[in-house]
Amino acid sequence: MTNADQAKSMARQLRAALSSDGIDIPHSKSLELVAKALGHADWNTASAKLDQQGASPSAVRFLRCSPILRIFDERKAREFYCDFLGFQVAFEHRFSEGMPLYLGLERADLTLHLSEHHGDASPGANVFVATANIRAFHRELAEKNYAYNRPGLEDLPWGLQMQVNDPFGNRIRFCQQDE
């Protein structure tokens, strides 16, 4: 059993103990409480750090995934990803002036790569992003009154989800999942 699995077990036990006293909390809340009790800012941070502590040095670990999304218009991409979604530019690359753009974006531990290069990606991709505090993110986007995208929240069997569609046909599904 990994350290993260042990923390999940603690969260289940906490939830059960509270429930026996008539206090019902969602599993996600019990995970957050255990994370704080273990000295971490939130469950996502705790889970990542606990998994790293319990992994053997020779075990395969995936450190980061950066989906590449196809774009066709730099101005529209920046308006959508930076102005609307709140990403920051991490890097930009062109082989020379007038050549297609390759752009790296970051926000809250999520990295996306946008590319105007023909062979890098196909338009119409779908990216699923596990998200914490999705209601706050939804509220932030709603307050921007972006004319081309007004995402809603959808309560689905696998979690609370908000889908955004970029100007190039790509979809990003932000989802808060309770375990």
| Residue with the larger pLDDT of the pair 101 and 37 | 101
Give the residue carrying structure tokens 């375990």. 179
| Residue with the larger pLDDT of the pair 85 and 40 | 85
pLDDT attached to residue 30: 82
- Residue 67 in this model has a pLDDT that exceeds 90: yes
Residues 6 or more apart whose Cβ sits within 8 Å of residue 147: none
The predicted-structure confidence for 128-158, as pLDDT tens digits, reads as follows 999 999 999 999 999 999 999 999 999 999 9
Half-sphere exposure of 101 (CA within 13 A, CB side): 18
User: For the whole model, what pTM was predicted?
Assistant: 0.69
What are the C-alpha distances in Å from 161 to residues 90, 137, 146, 154? 26, 11, 19, 5
| Residue with the larger pLDDT of the pair 91 and 25 | 91
Share of the chain above pLDDT 90, in %: 59
H or E element that contains 172 = strand 171-176
